[in-house]
Structure 1
Amino acid sequence: MDNLQLEKEHLADVILQIQKELDKVETKIEATKQKVLLARRYMWEEMPRLVRDVTDANEMASGLLDLQHQEVGLAFYTKEQKKLERLKYSPYFARIDFRIQDTTEPIYIGITGFSDLENRKNRVYDWRTPIASLFYDYTLGPASYICDAGTVSGEITLKRQFRIEKSQMLYMFDSSLNIEDEMLQEILSQSTDGHMRDIVMTIQREQNQAIRDEAHRLVLVWGAGGSGKTSIALHRIAYLLYRQRDQLKAENIVIFSPSDIFQDYISEVLPDLGEENVNQLTFDNYATKIFSPQGFKIESSFDQYEYIFGNKEDKNWQIRNDAMLFKNSPDFLGILENYLVYLENSYNSVQDFVYNGTVVLSGEEFYSCVKEKYNYLPFKKRLEKLERRLIANLTSLEEKRKDDIIQEMDNKGQSIGYTEKELQKIAYRKAQRETKALKDRMSKLISFDLVKTYLLLFQDLDLLKSLANNNLPSNIEEIAILTRGYFAKKYITQEDLAALAFLRQRLEVFNPETKIRHIVIDEVQDYSAVELKVLAQAFTESTFTVLGDPNQALLYKGEPREYVLEVFNIDDKKEIELVKSYRSTEEITEFAKSFADSPTNIEPVLRKGKKPEVIIGNNNQKRLIALLKELLNSSRKSIAIITKNFKEAIEVSELLKGIITFSLVDKDTYLLPPGVVIIPVFLAKGLEFDIAIVWDFQQYSIEEKRLLYIASTRALHELYLFGTQKGDLLTEVDPQKYHLEID
């Protein structure tokens, strides 16, 4: 009997065992459903009429508790049913034979594990188990894995992969560790369905290192476009949930993603891996949770990108661009840190609080509390604590003063005709009037408005210069005027929002998010140092998975490889570099590299395709429509027309209206539509499409070449660029890397 037949028989046996367990679970579901229905009917129809005394009430409470237990059991069995149904559809995808001394055991690996409870035997090992790491990390020969018992060494004598669908083995082949293996090639050549897929069958060795790392608080992954960074993050979440299931739940994890539409794009990966989806946020969402003042409009990241990439004709564009460069720089974070010290030191010359000859609170003590004694509290809390301390001290002095006031009235004959109660009231009011000036001085001293405090930086430029050690943009006065102008119009820009959120954390009341145990930050190159500091200050108890690609920075915010580590300041860290790009064909990757800042850090996977096509002409509407009609008749499922900004996306939509069916993606789009989409490049970040069409490519300047790199690397299989001329960037590309068509 050949190997294929043996494997088919083994598969049939595993599926039979799965079906047996599935039958048991479905029987339990039906039985539990009946119990739940009966309990609900009794509780809501009969029990309320029977509650006559405490005993009946206790019985009702007991019945409710029993109902809750039954419902929990039903949810558990339903979850098991779904797991077993997934297993039955495709129980495993790989097998390794691992020999330890003279014993060889076949290890079948799947998305979830399955055990034959009757025979106490693992039929399928979860891909996250320690022994399964052998499949990802080793070729045939000596191998080892680490488990709770220590290091287990042996030899891999067989490595086999399967394609199983609907309980049927479509094919199998024996393989070694090769990133261009048959399974990977077959999966990469598929069309996308609009959602990211799991990669458990094709995880590469370098990706596996990042996924399984449990030893470091910060895992920082740098990788080229299409290197699988986001997939790594999601599989790492699934791995951590499996390995730390007693301590870590889905509700304890947050992913910071670039956009709402990206959140939908990745939403199916964790459920496909048998885990619940975790919390997802954008930085916009989180920053406005920290600081969202009434009466102000807060700029969204969509509006920020749309302005910068689409409003160069605006008279204030250059100043705004320079303001963003300044406020997004690591230097600006240093200025804000220095400003906090300045605010503390501004209390070093407070006059003593003296009442009736007694020093109630000395200026020296006031400064000591602000600077040192109360520095475990947010700045505002320190001041409020000092105010309470002053009032408490004054209250005791006021009580003593009342007796003196009454005595003075007696001595002057002013107490005649008043009752004791009335005298007490008169004395109390006079003592209050005497201390009012001190209380008012304290109230004025400690009161501050966060917006006004921040604006002071752009009102007092001498102060700003001193905080920046005179290292400021040459047009800082214009930046300051623009900043004050925005606030006068009750408008807060993205870069100012980050600074205000940072200051509120440090100056006002903000409690760290201790419930959150793990944070994923995707596209970290698009976070400024200030934004990252906001997250670092908020999630002080968390571990971090941080992923980025400096080549894909939408806006320049400094050198992320430097400032990311400086901001987090975590010694217990691991950096991983991924240079292989798996998304696009070799031809597309080689072409896109021409627009990368660091093209040497990008290696294409050896998957051949057609060269990118550059189409230059004056009647691109006609050419685009003809191309789309041709592509829509092909087997490819998703086509993206990528524009520089949303204004251009609207213009393209007008060209196609009534001729081609399409979806226009805007800031209110939460689900990625199928078919043809028109999307600005800043919303296409992180997404992938079978075919990408870059519109009006010639308008991208040398300074914006990263945008063209981002747009080009969205394509899996085919890439087209439409323009009216070659432009600055294309002239620098090797003509052998693309096919040129000029009308």
Structure 2
Amino acid sequence: MSAPDPDPLARERAHLAASRAALRAMREDVQALDIRDVTANWVNAAVLERQIEERIKALADLSGTPLFFGRLDYLHSTQEGQRFYIGRRHVHDADGDPMVIDWRAPVSQPFYRASKKDPQDVRLRRRFGYTGGDLTAYEDERLSDPGEEERTSRLLQAEIERPRVGPMRDIVATIQPEQDEIVRSGLSGTVCVQGGPGTGKTAVGLHRVAYLLYAHRERLARTGTLVIGPNRSFLHYIEQVLPALGELEVQQATVEDLVGAHVEVRGADDAATAVVKGDARMAEVLRRALRSHVSMPTEPVVVVRGSRRWRIPAYEVEEIVRELLARDMRYGAARDALPQRIAHAVLVRMEAAGEAPDDRVQDAVARNAAVKAAVKAIWPAVDPAKLVLRLLSDAAFLAAHADGVLSEDEQKTLLWARPPRGVKSAKWSAADAVLIDETADLVARTQSLGHVVLDEAQDLSPMQYRAVGRRCSTGSATVLGDLAQGTTPWATESWADALRHLGKGDALVEELTAGFRVPRDVIAYASRLLPHIAPGLAEVRSVRENPGSLEVRAVAGDERDEAVVAACRASLEREGSVGLIAADARVPELAGALRAAGLPFLAPGEETTAGARLTLVPASLAKGLEYDYVVLDEPAAVVDGEPDERTGLRRLYVALTRAVSGLKVLHTAPLPAQLDPR
């Protein structure tokens, strides 16, 4: 048995310093590469140069980010390297021996899953505490010691409760066993994560991407990955998580970004119109409208080659057209196939006449003017935006293709009161852009990525799910959301329905119920709304007690703004970020009050500065964000700001659950009755 280490903290600090030096050496080795030594081709040189630049970025040593956060000592391992330091990336010494193991490596898995009941051959698990980039503490769990009781890690708890300042950070040091199972699930399957506020579903989704890129890097390098969020503020908030884990190639977008390439969105729909446009039945209406452009031939196709004339009768061309329609191919692919099929019919006649045509002859016939004219008449090219424009402008055209699919009232809801002259002058809405994207996919297949992460998925319409599903039709997805936080008129009520529209009906649905962000008193208060907004969903069980974290106070109407400013000022006296959340209509008035009081503030998504830790957040943009302290202004106004009570209560549920350390609720109007104790 080895003697106790007289100064373990000093030894660990020495290993940290040596690991940082090794990482610097790894980076310097890459910087020293001369691409002229390996390639003379300028294209290959450009590609290699870009790869080198990305590798240099990935090997950057972030001074404020711990290089490793844990250590595993195995019980029965006898080979050299039985002690493993677990960190955000792999680091090796000059001989290639590992000094830090990537958290995604198989050998790191017991750091997250080993327990007293299942030690997984781990003798000791050590967690490290840091102040900035300096290693200042450690804590040991002797998992194989029957005399040591299992307990909550003090350092783990401190890391979870660390103040939130700036963008979202990774949770690589605090991933819990149930989260780790989702993170390490395979690439081939789609996973849907239902998680209440503070359960870490967004972080789990981002870490799953990082894990998949580690485990399937070559495949995903070819097929691509994408993170889809609800808005730009949210994407800005999460954008540093993956780079902190060394992953620089993952793209981020909103659904509007995905479909916005077709037209410029300049208009907006009322809720009733948007609901109909977002209904999955619109896909059938669009399919019918597109296929209506195909007409059956009435004249034969006559191809002249030299002194010979080859005649394909109309009935035979019709058979070809009907066969292509029956195969339900993409409109554009079938249109491309039609001239080749007609040309093949000509070649059959040539061969019967004793000629020996080859593929070059068939291609030449397919390009013949008579064949091209026939294809243009039978199967004309269709512009997706023009087709949608006609559907929304021409009542007769819409009725012809929505018959039996949409009711007359729904059809009237879709029609523009004043149809625009053309595609460019139309004030397209976000829902219109999705319809055009659907039509574009009916014409030509949308390129599929290897993996897509869809966050805040509960707010998408069926047609938006289809738009996302097209981007991962041959890949997989991680779907993240909370049915209780659905705040759009078309928000999904069932993950089974959502996944079916996404094209991933066989996805595994996991539910996270352990909360690590929102204090227990705060989540319990917000959960009073659950029976009214999402019956049947399990309440979040928060691990954070934080006594005194909730304050609900009534204020006089003429003192409301003054009380809000005072609450913000008091919150700013504590460490961490502060969010003032209010109904959208109240934001201008509160902005004026903050300016008058001399309190600098930010808008959601703006960079934190030395002079501003306070963010003024419209309730409509609060989803997915978090602050150490939240001041919530006038809950009744948040509810009243939505088109119906249920959506308003869901919006309020979101606003109530953004606080990490403390929540102050100030109101002049009576609180919604649903917040009364059950």
Class of the TM-score when normalised by the shorter of the 2 chains: 0.7 to 0.9
Cα displacement string for residues 660-692 of structure 1 (whole angstroms, at most 9, x for unaligned residues): 3334537xx665675222222232221111222
Q: How does 1:12-411 map to 2 (within 5 A)?
A: 12-15=13-16, 17-18=18-19, 21=22, 24=25, 32=32, 75=53, 78-79=56-57, 82-83=60-61, 90-100=66-76, 105-116=82-93, 118=95, 121-144=97-120, 155-165=121-131, 166-174=133-141, 181-214=153-186, 216-249=188-221, 252-289=224-261, 291-292=262-263, 297-299=264-266, 320-328=270-278, 332-337=279-284, 339-341=286-288, 343-344=290-291, 347=294, 350-353=297-300, 360=312, 362=314, 365-366=317-318, 368-369=320-321, 372=324, 375=327, 377-383=329-335, 386=338
In structure 2, C-alpha distance between the alignment counterparts of 1:277 and 1:72, rounded to whole Å? 12
Instruction: Please name the residue that 1:529 is paired with.
Output: 462
Match of 2:561 among 617, 621, 637: 621
Instruction: Please name the residue that 1:311 is paired with.
Output: none
1:639 has 2:578 as partner: yes
In structure 1, C-alpha distance between the alignment counterparts of 2:196 and 2:412, rounded to whole Å? 37
Instruction: Please name the residue that 2:676 is paired with.
Output: 734
The code of the aligned residue for 2:84 comes to I
1:504 has 2:471 as partner: no
Q: Which has the larger radius of gyration?
A: 1
| Equivalent position SS for 1:237 | helix
In structure 2, C-alpha distance between the alignment counterparts of 1:559 and 1:512, rounded to whole Å? 29
| Equivalent position SS for 2:75 | strand
The code of the aligned residue for 1:733 comes to L
In structure 2, C-alpha distance between the alignment counterparts of 1:199 and 1:135, rounded to whole Å? 14
CA contact (8 A) 1:125 1:132 kept: yes
In structure 1, C-alpha distance between the alignment counterparts of 2:166 and 2:400, rounded to whole Å? 50
| Equivalent position SS for 1:531 | helix
In structure 1, C-alpha distance between the alignment counterparts of 2:607 and 2:587, rounded to whole Å? 17
After TM superposition, the structure 1 stretch with the greater mean CA deviation from structure 2, 380-389 or 213-222, is 380-389
In structure 1, C-alpha distance between the alignment counterparts of 2:41 and 2:342, rounded to whole Å? 56
CA contact (8 A) 2:626 2:658 kept: yes
In structure 1, C-alpha distance between the alignment counterparts of 2:386 and 2:59, rounded to whole Å? 58
Return closer, same or farther for 1:29/1:106 CA change in 2, 3 Å cut-off.
closer
Match of 1:549 among 479, 482, 488: 482
Instruction: Please name the residue that 2:452 is paired with.
Output: 519
- How far 1:589 moved relative to its partner? 0.8
1:713 has 2:657 as partner: yes
Instruction: Please name the residue that 1:450 is paired with.
Output: 384
The code of the aligned residue for 2:12 comes to L
- How far 1:578 moved relative to its partner? 0.8
Return closer, same or farther for 1:286/1:182 CA change in 2, 3 Å cut-off.
same
Return closer, same or farther for 1:554/1:204 CA change in 2, 3 Å cut-off.
same
- How far 1:232 moved relative to its partner? 1.0
CA contact (8 A) 2:276 2:410 kept: no
| Equivalent position SS for 2:596 | coil
Return closer, same or farther for 1:501/1:470 CA change in 2, 3 Å cut-off.
closer
Residues matched between the structures, number:
629
In structure 2, C-alpha distance between the alignment counterparts of 1:77 and 1:337, rounded to whole Å? 47
Cα displacement string for residues 46-91 of structure 1 (whole angstroms, at most 9, x for unaligned residues): xxxxxxxxxxxxx9x95989997996797488458624x769x734
CA contact (8 A) 1:261 1:672 kept: no
1:656 has 2:594 as partner: yes
- How far 1:498 moved relative to its partner? 0.9
- How far 1:606 moved relative to its partner? 3.2
CA contact (8 A) 1:662 1:678 kept: no
Instruction: Please name the residue that 2:522 is paired with.
Output: 588
Return closer, same or farther for 1:74/1:481 CA change in 2, 3 Å cut-off.
closer
CA contact (8 A) 1:587 1:612 kept: no
Q: How does 1:408-419 map to 2 (within 5 A)?
A: none
In structure 2, C-alpha distance between the alignment counterparts of 1:175 and 1:726, rounded to whole Å? 53
In structure 2, C-alpha distance between the alignment counterparts of 1:576 and 1:735, rounded to whole Å? 29
Instruction: Please name the residue that 1:416 is paired with.
Output: none
Return closer, same or farther for 1:642/1:105 CA change in 2, 3 Å cut-off.
same
- How far 1:389 moved relative to its partner? 7.5
Instruction: Please name the residue that 1:10 is paired with.
Output: 11
In structure 2, C-alpha distance between the alignment counterparts of 1:374 and 1:125, rounded to whole Å? 55
Cα displacement string for residues 626-655 of structure 1 (whole angstroms, at most 9, x for unaligned residues): 2222222x123322222333x532232123
After TM superposition, the structure 1 stretch with the greater mean CA deviation from structure 2, 237-246 or 220-229, is 237-246
Q: Any unmatched runs of 5+ in structure 2?
A: 144-148, 304-308, 350-368
CA contact (8 A) 1:260 1:282 kept: yes
In structure 1, C-alpha distance between the alignment counterparts of 2:189 and 2:629, rounded to whole Å? 38
CA contact (8 A) 1:163 1:169 kept: yes
In structure 2, C-alpha distance between the alignment counterparts of 1:75 and 1:358, rounded to whole Å? 61
- How far 1:220 moved relative to its partner? 1.5
Instruction: Please name the residue that 2:429 is paired with.
Output: 493
Match of 1:469 among 393, 404, 425: 404
TM-score by length of 1: 0.73
Return closer, same or farther for 1:462/1:562 CA change in 2, 3 Å cut-off.
farther
- How far 1:223 moved relative to its partner? 1.0
Return closer, same or farther for 1:361/1:203 CA change in 2, 3 Å cut-off.
farther
- How far 1:231 moved relative to its partner? 0.7
The code of the aligned residue for 1:640 comes to G
In structure 2, C-alpha distance between the alignment counterparts of 1:214 and 1:687, rounded to whole Å? 28
The code of the aligned residue for 1:138 comes to A
In structure 2, C-alpha distance between the alignment counterparts of 1:607 and 1:712, rounded to whole Å? 16
Instruction: Please name the residue that 2:540 is paired with.
Output: 602
CA contact (8 A) 1:141 1:157 kept: no
Return closer, same or farther for 1:481/1:239 CA change in 2, 3 Å cut-off.
closer
- How far 1:284 moved relative to its partner? 0.9
In structure 2, C-alpha distance between the alignment counterparts of 1:22 and 1:391, rounded to whole Å? 63
Match of 2:668 among 703, 724, 737: 724
Cα displacement string for residues 3-39 of structure 1 (whole angstroms, at most 9, x for unaligned residues): 6745325314423543653575587589x49x89xx9
The code of the aligned residue for 1:169 comes to T
| Equivalent position SS for 1:658 | helix
- How far 1:266 moved relative to its partner? 1.3
In structure 2, C-alpha distance between the alignment counterparts of 1:175 and 1:617, rounded to whole Å? 56
| Equivalent position SS for 1:247 | helix
- How far 1:215 moved relative to its partner? 5.3
The code of the aligned residue for 1:505 comes to D
- How far 1:195 moved relative to its partner? 0.9
In structure 2, C-alpha distance between the alignment counterparts of 1:362 and 1:69, rounded to whole Å? 53
In structure 1, C-alpha distance between the alignment counterparts of 2:479 and 2:165, rounded to whole Å? 26
| Equivalent position SS for 1:631 | helix
- How far 1:705 moved relative to its partner? 0.8
TM-score by length of 2: 0.79
More helix by share: 1
| Equivalent position SS for 1:469 | coil
CA contact (8 A) 1:350 1:367 kept: no
